[in-house]
Structure 1
Amino acid sequence: MTTRPDGRDHETLEWFLRLRSAPDDRRLRRAFETWLAGDPARAAAFRRVERAWALTGEVPAAHADRWMGPAANGNRRPTRRRVLAIAGGAAAASVAALAAPSVWVRVRADHRTAVGERSPVTLADGTRVDLDTGTALSVDFTPARRAVALLEGRAFFAVAPDTARPFTVAAGPVSVTAVGTGFDVRLDPDQVAVSVTEGVVSVATGASAAPRAERIAAGERLAIDITRQTAVRAAIDPQAATDWRRGLLSVDGASVASVVEELRRYHPGAILLRDDALAERRVTGVFDLNDPAGALRTLVGPYAGRVWRLTPLVLVVDLA
């Protein structure tokens, strides 16, 4: 059930959004303080709105400076109706959070990319690694082994051949081993996916004491459910599977909701999808990961959808 804000919070919600859109506006701040002093109940109402917004999974305080800049020119201020709809249903709409990298990732990572960033890295053995958005990688090379750990995100490995030192990638409970080949590893909270574009890799899953190993060849993908300890093998188009390396997202019959979920990984704020019927529509196409807002407009335009800004980094998708 979607939660609706209490009628007493209507005016408070508008003050809240106005202050977030223009935090350096001294005149607005003075007007707000005057309004706040006019009724003791208003302070409590404002705190309720702040708590409700925090519950949506909004950006942690450490990143407030990335949200609270002046709105871009040409962005229209949301109407009262839209503000209330979003504030009341934001939790159910699963606002994407701009989560700060955890301390352990910062400590362990030798290479890392920010949200929306992709970066190539060449390791000491000549192996080329393409890091996707929000990715962290640690490297542990010795004379006897080549080991890396994918701590979060996704990476493509073009492995330099070395029969004496197989190349191993650890991603959660999954270990991928290759001598010289090309493959993609993606680590999500509940799944690890390995896609092979060249050669063959061995994928070990399960408890380290008794791992189950499978060989994956070029043109195949293995998706491992971390919780259930199950694996699904599927054929892939090697080029389409790694389109992200060129800043592209290729989909065939995917739901609008699933495409929005993927675009959230490349947007340094949040994307709200506000229409259930629109979320279920199916799409086929290629979208630009370098421009998430433009990709969203291309995605929903054929279905009379629109994209507008709630704050400089919060994009809202709904029907026109």
Structure 2
Amino acid sequence: MSEHSTQDLAQLEEQAIERLVHLHSGRASVADRQAFEHWSQRSDAHRAAARSAQALWDDIPQTETARHFVPPAPRRKPRRRLAAALAASLAILVVGGTLLDPLPALRADHVTAVGERRQLQLQDGSQLWLNSASAVSIDYSPGSRTIHLYKGEALFEVARDADRPFIVHAGGGTVRAVGTRFDVDLQGRKTDVVVSEGIVEVASGQQAALRLEAGQGVTYQAGQPPGPLRQEDAQASSAWQRGKLIFNRRPLGEVLAKLGRHLPGKLHLTDGALRELRISGVFELDDPQAALRTLEQTQPLRITRLPLLTLIRPKP
């Protein structure tokens, strides 16, 4: 394999992955399978690429949902493993919310597509900025101003009205404000709240609401009390509203979660140990793929792009 450069080997591995995806797509013929067997035996480098591709698929965890996607299994065990692994990758897309979830779209008044950001002027003079792949509904009455964030992230700039509290329901908790500016970010089972101006109260679970002031943030999960309070760079947290993502020694898992909102498909980290890798940088949301390229060039990461799935793993 000495005649092959590192770049050549990476390209061979991506070819192997693409071939395996096709083999287990339900559209492959016997000739396709024979062609892959022939391809994988062309050289030591091709054999290594085929082995590495299979190992990569094996790193993708199976889920209960994956069983619903398993195509008819060929008789040979290695191919069954690959079929199950491909099914698991499809399950990651479904469970991770990459494929369109119709419920937020049906309940929401406003929905943004992947890569779209939108500013809304509310009837009381408040403003709402909706991040990529997000969904909200708005319910104003004479006695209250209520927002439901079903998916994604929103930044609120609230007009003062002491007679009508401004309440955001998100992730099984509530954020209550009178006149303030704050960000609410739904990330899977957890919800992050960061205050830029004024004061908000965050409630979740059975405990009393937690009071946040400007420059503070908190995380909560449904049914659990929020906390602990932490100091936050509110300008960095809301930078997406200005078309940027700003990170100062943030964990890679968090960086990918925020970046993935602006990319089609799913970002999947194959090695959990990398989640805590600290990342600093400023990334432009007009070109999120450039952010991935920068991470690959500056960090010990290797990125493989497939339709609807981008795999991030350690460099060998």
TM-score, normalized by the shorter chain, greater than 0.5: yes
Kept in 1, the 8 Å contact 2:202–2:226? The answer is no
Distance change >3 Å, CA 203–CA 108, structure 1 → 2? same
Deviates more, 1:115-124 or 1:89-98: 89-98
User: CA offset at residue 14 of structure 1?
Assistant: 6.2
Aligned positions of 1:61-72 closer than 5 A: none
Kept in 1, the 8 Å contact 2:135–2:149? The answer is yes
Q: Aligned partners of 2:180, 2:108: CA distance in 1, in Å? A: 23
User: CA offset at residue 280 of structure 1?
Assistant: 4.8
Q: Deviations over 1:155-212 (max 9, x none)?
A: 10011222322211111332222222111112233322221111112223324xxx51
Aligned partner of 2:21 among 13, 17, 22: 17
Kept in 1, the 8 Å contact 2:251–2:279? The answer is yes
Kept in 2, the 8 Å contact 1:278–1:303? The answer is no
How many residues get paired?
A: 260
Structure 1 partner of 2:312: 317
Structure 1 partner of 2:251: 255
Q: State the secondary structure of the residue aligned to 1:99.
A: coil
Kept in 1, the 8 Å contact 2:253–2:275? The answer is yes
Distance change >3 Å, CA 261–CA 222, structure 1 → 2? closer
Structure 1 partner of 2:210: 214
Amino acid at match of 1:179: V
Q: Aligned partners of 1:82, 1:109: CA distance in 2, in Å? A: 43
User: CA offset at residue 138 of structure 1?
Assistant: 0.8
Structure 1 partner of 2:9: none
Structure 1 partner of 2:122: 123
Structure 2 partner of 1:149: 148
Structure 2: segments with no counterpart, 5+ residues: 1-15, 35-47, 63-84
Is 1:241 the equivalent of 2:237?
yes
Distance change >3 Å, CA 13–CA 35, structure 1 → 2? farther
Q: Aligned partners of 2:108, 2:299: CA distance in 1, in Å? A: 42
> Could you tell me the percent identity over the aligned residues?
36
Aligned positions of 1:126-137 closer than 5 A: 126-137=125-136
Kept in 1, the 8 Å contact 2:187–2:257? The answer is no
Aligned partner of 1:300 among 293, 296, 299: 296
Q: Deviations over 1:257-284 (max 9, x none)?
A: 4322332222211224345665553222
Q: Deviations over 1:111-145 (max 9, x none)?
A: 11123322111122221101112211111111222
Distance change >3 Å, CA 79–CA 282, structure 1 → 2? same
Kept in 2, the 8 Å contact 1:293–1:315? The answer is no
Higher-RCO chain (CA-CA 8 Å, sequence separation at least 6): 1
Kept in 2, the 8 Å contact 1:118–1:133? The answer is yes
Q: Aligned partners of 2:259, 2:289: CA distance in 1, in Å? A: 9
Kept in 2, the 8 Å contact 1:14–1:83? The answer is no
User: CA offset at residue 79 of structure 1?
Assistant: 4.8
Kept in 2, the 8 Å contact 1:225–1:231? The answer is no
Aligned partner of 1:90 among 49, 52, 60: 60
Structure 1: segments with no counterpart, 5+ residues: 1-11, 24-28, 39-77
Is 1:108 the equivalent of 2:107?
yes
Distance change >3 Å, CA 37–CA 271, structure 1 → 2? closer
Q: State the secondary structure of the residue aligned to 2:53.
A: helix
Q: CA RMSD in A?
A: 3.4
